[in-house]
Protein backbone atom coordinates (compact mmCIF):
# COMPACT_ATOMS: atom_id res chain seq x y z
CA UNK A 1 0.00 0.00 0.00
CA UNK A 2 1.54 3.30 -1.10
CA UNK A 3 1.59 6.33 1.16
CA UNK A 4 2.30 10.03 0.69
CA UNK A 5 5.96 10.76 0.04
CA UNK A 6 8.01 11.52 3.13
CA UNK A 7 10.82 14.10 3.27
CA UNK A 8 13.81 12.93 1.25
CA UNK A 9 16.00 12.75 4.37
CA UNK A 10 13.62 10.53 6.32
CA UNK A 11 13.83 6.76 6.02
CA UNK A 12 10.87 6.27 8.41
CA UNK A 13 8.10 8.64 9.43
CA UNK A 14 5.88 7.54 12.32
CA UNK A 15 2.48 9.22 12.47
CA UNK A 16 0.03 9.03 15.39
CA UNK A 17 1.20 5.52 16.30
CA UNK A 18 -0.53 3.77 19.19
CA UNK A 19 -0.26 0.29 20.64
CA UNK A 20 -2.76 -0.88 23.24
CA UNK A 21 -2.84 -4.29 24.89
CA UNK A 22 -6.11 -5.69 26.29
CA UNK A 23 -6.46 -6.49 30.00
CA UNK A 24 -8.51 -9.62 30.47
CA UNK A 25 -10.11 -11.06 33.56
CA UNK A 26 -9.62 -14.63 34.79
CA UNK A 27 -11.31 -17.71 33.41
CA UNK A 28 -11.94 -19.30 30.03
CA UNK A 29 -14.57 -16.77 28.93
CA UNK A 30 -12.98 -13.78 30.63
CA UNK A 31 -13.99 -10.38 29.31
CA UNK A 32 -11.68 -7.51 28.44
CA UNK A 33 -11.69 -5.12 31.39
CA UNK A 34 -9.34 -2.43 30.09
CA UNK A 35 -6.33 -1.59 27.96
CA UNK A 36 -2.66 -0.86 28.60
CA UNK A 37 -1.56 2.18 26.58
CA UNK A 38 2.00 1.09 25.77
CA UNK A 39 2.48 3.55 22.88
CA UNK A 40 0.26 6.60 22.85
CA UNK A 41 -0.03 8.65 19.65
CA UNK A 42 3.65 9.01 18.68
CA UNK A 43 4.88 11.23 15.84
CA UNK A 44 8.57 10.74 15.04
CA UNK A 45 10.88 10.74 12.02
CA UNK A 46 14.14 8.82 11.59
CA UNK A 47 16.58 10.44 9.19
CA UNK A 48 18.51 8.32 6.74
CA UNK A 49 22.04 7.57 7.98
CA UNK A 50 21.58 8.82 11.54
CA UNK A 51 21.65 7.15 14.95
CA UNK A 52 18.47 8.20 16.75
CA UNK A 53 18.47 7.40 20.46
CA UNK A 54 15.24 6.49 22.22
CA UNK A 55 15.52 6.79 26.01
CA UNK A 56 13.29 6.54 29.05
CA UNK A 57 12.58 4.50 32.16
CA UNK A 58 11.71 0.81 31.98
CA UNK A 59 8.05 0.41 31.08
CA UNK A 60 7.76 3.65 29.10
CA UNK A 61 7.07 1.82 25.80
CA UNK A 62 10.48 1.96 24.07
CA UNK A 63 10.67 -1.73 23.20
CA UNK A 64 7.02 -1.84 22.14
CA UNK A 65 7.65 1.01 19.71
CA UNK A 66 10.62 -0.89 18.27
CA UNK A 67 8.54 -4.05 17.92
CA UNK A 68 5.84 -2.08 16.09
CA UNK A 69 8.42 -0.71 13.63
CA UNK A 70 9.71 -4.19 12.74
CA UNK A 71 6.07 -5.38 12.80
CA UNK A 72 6.51 -8.12 15.35
CA UNK A 73 3.52 -6.28 16.86
CA UNK A 74 0.62 -4.96 14.80
CA UNK A 75 0.01 -1.32 15.87
CA UNK A 76 -3.48 -0.54 17.10
CA UNK A 77 -3.53 2.76 15.22
CA UNK A 78 -1.24 4.98 13.19
CA UNK A 79 1.11 4.82 10.21
CA UNK A 80 4.72 3.75 9.59
CA UNK A 81 5.79 5.44 6.36
CA UNK A 82 8.97 3.68 5.22
CA UNK A 83 10.96 4.99 2.24
CA UNK A 84 12.59 2.17 0.31
CA UNK A 85 15.83 2.27 -1.69
CA UNK A 86 13.82 3.09 -4.86
CA UNK A 87 12.28 6.16 -3.17
CA UNK A 88 8.82 4.61 -2.95
CA UNK A 89 7.05 5.08 0.38
CA UNK A 90 4.87 2.38 1.93
CA UNK A 91 2.89 2.21 5.15
CA UNK A 92 4.35 -0.79 6.98
CA UNK A 93 1.49 -0.70 9.50
CA UNK A 94 -1.04 -1.43 6.75
CA UNK A 95 0.74 -4.40 5.15
CA UNK A 96 -0.33 -8.00 5.63
CA UNK A 97 2.15 -10.81 6.31
CA UNK A 98 2.80 -11.57 2.64
CA UNK A 99 3.19 -7.91 1.64
CA UNK A 100 5.49 -7.27 4.58
CA UNK A 101 8.01 -10.02 3.75
CA UNK A 102 10.30 -7.99 1.40
CA UNK A 103 10.57 -5.17 3.96
CA UNK A 104 11.53 -7.50 6.81
CA UNK A 105 14.93 -7.87 5.11
CA UNK A 106 15.34 -4.09 5.08
CA UNK A 107 14.25 -3.37 8.67
CA UNK A 108 15.99 -5.61 11.20
CA UNK A 109 16.45 -5.82 14.97
CA UNK A 110 19.36 -6.52 17.33
CA UNK A 111 17.92 -8.04 20.50
CA UNK A 112 18.88 -7.19 24.06
CA UNK A 113 19.80 -10.52 25.60
CA UNK A 114 22.68 -12.30 23.82
CA UNK A 115 21.84 -15.51 25.70
CA UNK A 116 18.09 -16.07 25.31
CA UNK A 117 17.93 -14.64 21.76
CA UNK A 118 20.10 -17.42 20.29
CA UNK A 119 18.68 -20.93 19.89
CA UNK A 120 21.05 -23.25 21.80
CA UNK A 121 20.19 -26.14 19.45
CA UNK A 122 21.34 -24.29 16.32
CA UNK A 123 24.90 -23.71 15.13
CA UNK A 124 26.15 -20.19 14.43
CA UNK A 125 25.94 -21.00 10.71
CA UNK A 126 22.26 -21.89 11.08
CA UNK A 127 21.48 -18.87 13.29
CA UNK A 128 23.14 -16.23 11.12
CA UNK A 129 22.09 -17.89 7.86
CA UNK A 130 18.45 -18.39 8.86
CA UNK A 131 17.23 -14.99 7.51
CA UNK A 132 18.86 -15.78 4.14
CA UNK A 133 17.17 -19.17 4.07
CA UNK A 134 13.77 -17.85 5.24
CA UNK A 135 13.86 -15.02 2.71
CA UNK A 136 14.99 -17.38 -0.09
CA UNK A 137 18.00 -15.11 -0.65
CA UNK A 138 20.74 -17.75 -0.57
CA UNK A 139 21.29 -21.41 0.23
CA UNK A 140 23.98 -24.07 0.15
CA UNK A 141 27.55 -22.94 -0.44
CA UNK A 142 26.48 -19.38 -1.25
CA UNK A 143 24.74 -19.08 2.13
CA UNK A 144 27.78 -20.47 3.93
CA UNK A 145 30.07 -18.05 2.12
CA UNK A 146 27.92 -15.04 3.02
CA UNK A 147 27.76 -16.12 6.67
CA UNK A 148 31.56 -16.48 6.75
CA UNK A 149 32.02 -12.97 5.33
CA UNK A 150 29.58 -11.47 7.84
CA UNK A 151 31.14 -13.25 10.82
CA UNK A 152 34.52 -11.86 9.82
CA UNK A 153 33.05 -8.35 9.56
CA UNK A 154 31.74 -8.51 13.14
CA UNK A 155 35.08 -9.77 14.49
CA UNK A 156 34.39 -13.51 14.74
CA UNK A 157 36.29 -16.38 13.14
CA UNK A 158 34.41 -18.02 10.24
CA UNK A 159 36.06 -21.26 11.33
CA UNK A 160 33.81 -21.30 14.39
CA UNK A 161 30.51 -21.16 12.47
CA UNK A 162 29.68 -24.81 13.23
CA UNK A 163 29.94 -24.29 16.98
CA UNK A 164 26.91 -23.77 19.22
CA UNK A 165 26.13 -20.58 21.21
CA UNK A 166 27.27 -22.06 24.54
CA UNK A 167 30.87 -22.00 23.25
CA UNK A 168 30.87 -18.19 23.03
CA UNK A 169 31.07 -15.39 25.59
CA UNK A 170 28.32 -12.78 26.05
CA UNK A 171 30.11 -10.24 23.88
CA UNK A 172 30.73 -12.82 21.14
CA UNK A 173 27.08 -13.89 21.23
CA UNK A 174 26.01 -10.30 20.75
CA UNK A 175 28.30 -10.11 17.72
CA UNK A 176 26.43 -13.16 16.40
CA UNK A 177 23.18 -11.26 17.04
CA UNK A 178 24.51 -8.31 15.05
CA UNK A 179 25.67 -10.60 12.23
CA UNK A 180 22.19 -12.16 12.04
CA UNK A 181 20.59 -8.71 11.84
CA UNK A 182 22.92 -7.48 9.09
CA UNK A 183 23.13 -10.62 6.95
CA UNK A 184 20.23 -9.45 4.73
CA UNK A 185 21.93 -6.05 4.15
CA UNK A 186 19.19 -3.98 5.85
CA UNK A 187 18.84 -0.20 5.73
CA UNK A 188 17.25 0.40 9.15
CA UNK A 189 18.33 -1.46 12.30
CA UNK A 190 16.47 -1.33 15.63
CA UNK A 191 19.09 -1.87 18.36
CA UNK A 192 16.99 -2.69 21.42
CA UNK A 193 19.19 -2.33 24.53
CA UNK A 194 21.94 -3.90 22.43
CA UNK A 195 24.70 -3.46 25.05
CA UNK A 196 22.78 -3.33 28.35
CA UNK A 197 23.31 -7.05 29.12
CA UNK A 198 27.07 -6.90 28.47
CA UNK A 199 29.92 -6.35 30.89
CA UNK A 200 31.14 -2.77 31.00
CA UNK A 201 34.50 -3.83 29.56
CA UNK A 202 32.78 -5.26 26.45
CA UNK A 203 30.27 -2.46 25.84
CA UNK A 204 32.76 -0.03 24.28
CA UNK A 205 33.93 -2.73 21.86
CA UNK A 206 30.39 -3.48 20.69
CA UNK A 207 29.52 0.23 20.41
CA UNK A 208 32.62 0.81 18.28
CA UNK A 209 31.63 -2.18 16.15
CA UNK A 210 28.14 -0.76 15.60
CA UNK A 211 29.68 2.56 14.56
CA UNK A 212 32.08 0.91 12.13
CA UNK A 213 29.30 -1.22 10.61
CA UNK A 214 27.11 1.85 10.18
CA UNK A 215 29.79 3.50 8.06
CA UNK A 216 30.52 0.31 6.11
CA UNK A 217 26.91 -0.59 5.30
CA UNK A 218 25.38 2.93 5.30
CA UNK A 219 23.00 1.94 8.09
CA UNK A 220 20.40 3.91 10.00
CA UNK A 221 19.94 2.99 13.67
CA UNK A 222 17.14 3.45 16.15
CA UNK A 223 19.15 2.91 19.34
CA UNK A 224 16.87 2.05 22.27
CA UNK A 225 18.43 2.37 25.72
CA UNK A 226 17.83 3.42 29.30
CA UNK A 227 21.52 4.28 29.74
CA UNK A 228 22.05 7.98 29.04
CA UNK A 229 25.84 7.57 29.13
CA UNK A 230 25.76 5.05 26.28
CA UNK A 231 23.34 7.17 24.23
CA UNK A 232 25.61 10.19 24.63
CA UNK A 233 28.46 8.37 22.89
CA UNK A 234 26.71 6.91 19.85
CA UNK A 235 23.60 8.94 18.98
CA UNK A 236 23.18 11.95 16.70
CA UNK A 237 19.74 12.86 18.04
CA UNK A 238 17.80 11.74 21.11
CA UNK A 239 14.06 11.25 21.65
CA UNK A 240 12.91 11.03 25.28
CA UNK A 241 9.89 8.82 25.94
CA UNK A 242 7.58 8.87 28.94
CA UNK A 243 4.47 6.71 29.40
CA UNK A 244 4.11 5.96 25.69
CA UNK A 245 4.72 9.52 24.43
CA UNK A 246 7.72 11.46 23.12
CA UNK A 247 8.27 14.38 25.50
CA UNK A 248 11.51 15.83 24.06
CA UNK A 249 13.52 15.58 20.85
CA UNK A 250 16.80 17.29 19.95
CA UNK A 251 20.38 16.83 18.77
CA UNK A 252 22.36 14.93 21.38
CA UNK A 253 24.67 17.78 22.48
CA UNK A 254 21.78 20.25 22.56
CA UNK A 255 19.54 17.97 24.63
CA UNK A 256 22.24 17.05 27.14
CA UNK A 257 23.43 20.60 27.67
CA UNK A 258 20.04 22.38 27.50
CA UNK A 259 17.15 20.06 28.38
CA UNK A 260 13.71 21.62 27.97
CA UNK A 261 11.60 19.02 29.82
CA UNK A 262 11.77 18.28 33.58
CA UNK A 263 11.76 14.53 32.92
CA UNK A 264 14.87 14.84 30.74
CA UNK A 265 16.52 16.91 33.46
CA UNK A 266 15.90 14.12 35.97
CA UNK A 267 17.32 11.47 33.61
CA UNK A 268 20.44 13.55 32.94
CA UNK A 269 21.05 14.21 36.63
CA UNK A 270 21.64 10.47 37.08
CA UNK A 271 24.41 10.34 34.44
CA UNK A 272 27.66 9.44 36.26
CA UNK A 273 30.54 11.90 35.92
CA UNK A 274 33.85 10.27 35.00
CA UNK A 275 35.93 13.17 36.36
CA UNK A 276 36.27 12.62 40.14
CA UNK A 277 36.53 16.39 40.67
CA UNK A 278 33.01 16.86 39.29
CA UNK A 279 31.31 14.09 41.25
CA UNK A 280 28.76 15.42 43.66
CA UNK A 281 28.88 18.90 42.14
CA UNK A 282 25.53 18.54 40.38
CA UNK A 283 22.13 18.35 42.05
CA UNK A 284 20.37 14.99 41.65
CA UNK A 285 16.72 15.36 40.65
CA UNK A 286 15.09 12.29 42.13
CA UNK A 287 11.65 11.44 40.81
CA UNK A 288 8.92 10.02 43.05
CA UNK A 289 8.44 6.28 42.62
CA UNK A 290 4.72 6.56 41.85
CA UNK A 291 4.98 5.77 38.12
CA UNK A 292 1.48 6.19 36.62
CA UNK A 293 -0.59 3.21 35.55
CA UNK A 294 -0.35 2.79 31.73
CA UNK A 295 -3.88 1.35 31.82
CA UNK A 296 -5.17 4.58 33.36
CA UNK A 297 -2.90 7.48 32.31
CA UNK A 298 -3.22 10.79 34.20
CA UNK A 299 -5.16 13.70 32.79
CA UNK A 300 -3.33 16.58 31.16
CA UNK A 301 0.45 16.18 31.05
CA UNK A 302 1.26 12.55 31.84
CA UNK A 303 4.31 13.67 33.83
CA UNK A 304 2.47 16.10 36.14
CA UNK A 305 2.06 13.53 38.94
CA UNK A 306 5.87 13.44 39.40
CA UNK A 307 6.86 16.95 38.26
CA UNK A 308 7.97 19.61 40.74
CA UNK A 309 7.02 22.39 38.30
CA UNK A 310 3.44 21.24 37.61
CA UNK A 311 0.46 23.52 38.22
CA UNK A 312 -3.23 22.67 38.29
CA UNK A 313 -4.37 25.24 35.74
CA UNK A 314 -2.25 23.97 32.87
CA UNK A 315 -0.47 20.70 33.62
CA UNK A 316 -3.32 18.81 35.31
CA UNK A 317 -5.98 19.83 32.80
CA UNK A 318 -4.26 20.31 29.42
CA UNK A 319 -2.08 17.84 27.51
CA UNK A 320 0.95 19.63 26.03
CA UNK A 321 1.91 19.15 22.39
CA UNK A 322 5.45 18.28 21.30
CA UNK A 323 6.34 21.73 19.94
CA UNK A 324 9.43 23.69 18.89
CA UNK A 325 11.10 25.43 21.82
CA UNK A 326 14.51 26.16 20.31
CA UNK A 327 15.82 25.58 16.80
CA UNK A 328 15.49 21.83 16.03
CA UNK A 329 14.60 21.26 19.69
CA UNK A 330 11.07 20.17 20.60
CA UNK A 331 9.51 19.53 24.00
CA UNK A 332 6.06 18.73 25.40
CA UNK A 333 5.98 21.03 28.43
CA UNK A 334 3.66 23.98 29.18
CA UNK A 335 6.43 25.81 31.06
CA UNK A 336 9.44 25.06 28.85
CA UNK A 337 10.14 28.72 27.95
CA UNK A 338 10.03 29.78 31.61
CA UNK A 339 12.16 27.02 33.13
CA UNK A 340 15.94 26.96 33.44
CA UNK A 341 16.82 23.29 33.69
CA UNK A 342 20.17 21.68 34.46
CA UNK A 343 22.00 19.69 31.80
CA UNK A 344 25.39 18.04 31.53
CA UNK A 345 28.39 18.90 29.39
CA UNK A 346 29.39 16.21 26.96
CA UNK A 347 32.34 15.50 24.74
CA UNK A 348 31.52 14.40 21.22
CA UNK A 349 32.93 10.97 20.47
CA UNK A 350 35.25 10.87 17.49
- The DSSP secondary structure of 98-127, one letter per residue, reads HHHHHHHTTEEEE-S-TTTTS-TTS-HHHH
In this prediction, residue 282 carries a pLDDT of 54
Tens-place pLDDT, residues 285-313: 778 878 888 889 999 999 999 999 999 88
Give the DSSP H/E element, type plus range, for residue 249. strand 245-251
Domain ranges for the chain, please list them.
10-106+186-338
Output Rg (C-alpha) for the chain, integer angstroms: 21
pLDDT in tens, 111-140: 888 888 899 999 999 999 999 998 889 999
Q: Percentage of the chain with pLDDT > 90?
A: 75
The pLDDT of residue 6: 42
Q: What is the pLDDT of residue 344?
A: 86
C-alpha to C-alpha distance for 296 and 274, rounded to whole angstroms: 39
Q: What percent of the chain lies above the pLDDT cut of 70?
A: 92
10-106+186-338: CATH topology: Rossmann fold (3.40.50)
User: How far is residue 19 from each of residues 36, 76, 280, 320, measured CA to CA in Å?
Assistant: 8, 5, 40, 20
Residue 224 bridge partners (DSSP): 54, 192
The average pLDDT across 145-174 equals: 95
Dmax of the chain from CA atoms?
A: 68
Average pLDDT of the chain to the nearest whole number: 90
Q: What is the pLDDT of residues 64-118, one digit of tens each?
A: 999 999 999 999 999 999 999 999 999 999 999 999 999 999 999 998 888 888 9
User: 60-85 in b/e burial notation, b at 16+ Cβ within 10 A?
Assistant: bbbbbbbbbbbbebebbebbbbbbee
Of 245, 249, 236, the closest CA to residue 326 belongs to 249
Rounded-to-integer distance, Cα 81 and Cα 53, Å:
19
pLDDT at residue 1 in the model: 38
For residues 214-237, average pLDDT = 94
- Band the pLDDT of 4: cuts 50, 70, 90: very low
- Whether the per-residue pLDDT at 2 is higher than 70: the answer is no
pLDDT of residue 306: 94
pLDDT at 5: 41
Amino acid sequence: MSAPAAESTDILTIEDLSMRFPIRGHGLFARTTGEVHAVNGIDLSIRSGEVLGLVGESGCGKTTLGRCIVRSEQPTEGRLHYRGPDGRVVDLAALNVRELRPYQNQVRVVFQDPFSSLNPRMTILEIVGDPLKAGRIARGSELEERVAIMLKRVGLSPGHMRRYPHAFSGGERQRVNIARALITEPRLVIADEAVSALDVSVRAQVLNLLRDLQAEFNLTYLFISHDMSVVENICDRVAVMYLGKIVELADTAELYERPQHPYTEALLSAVPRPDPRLRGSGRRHRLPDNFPDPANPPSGCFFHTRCQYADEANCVEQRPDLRPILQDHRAACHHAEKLTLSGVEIENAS
